[in-house]
Amino acid sequence: MIKSLRGLILDFLKRIYPREIEELEIIAVFYQYYRDTEIRQALAYLADKGYVDVKKVVIPYNKRRYRTLYKITPKGIDLLDGEIVDDTVLPPEDA
């Protein structure tokens, strides 16, 4: 199940590429089917593997808080396109 979530997240990020998207927006998309902890773990895993870039941006009016932005990398797109094989990520069938 987590493998398919990773693939769904990558597919979602590929569809909005080259735009970055906030972590909470990604959670909102998948929250109906997955717990927020599962989504965050999947995002962290994809970042560790180099399939997504993560950028933390300080909120201007509150320097102690930040937004986390995600963007698919070329390596992540290659994985979805079948150029790279990774058994830990299950791309959607229609990707």
The whole-angstrom separation of Cα 90 and Cα 46 is 12
Count the helix, strand and coil residues of the chain and give each as a percent rounded to the nearest 5. 45, 20, 30
pLDDT tens string 17-73: 999 999 999 999 999 999 999 999 999 999 999 999 999 998 888 778 889 999 999
Mean of pLDDT values over 68-94: 93
For the full predicted model, state whether its pTM sits above 0.85.
yes
- In this prediction, residue 62 carries a pLDDT of 76
Q: H or E element: which one contains 7?
A: helix 2-16
* Cβ-contact 93, 84 below 8 angstroms: no
95 pLDDT higher than 80: no
- In this prediction, residue 46 carries a pLDDT of 98
- In this prediction, residue 94 carries a pLDDT of 56
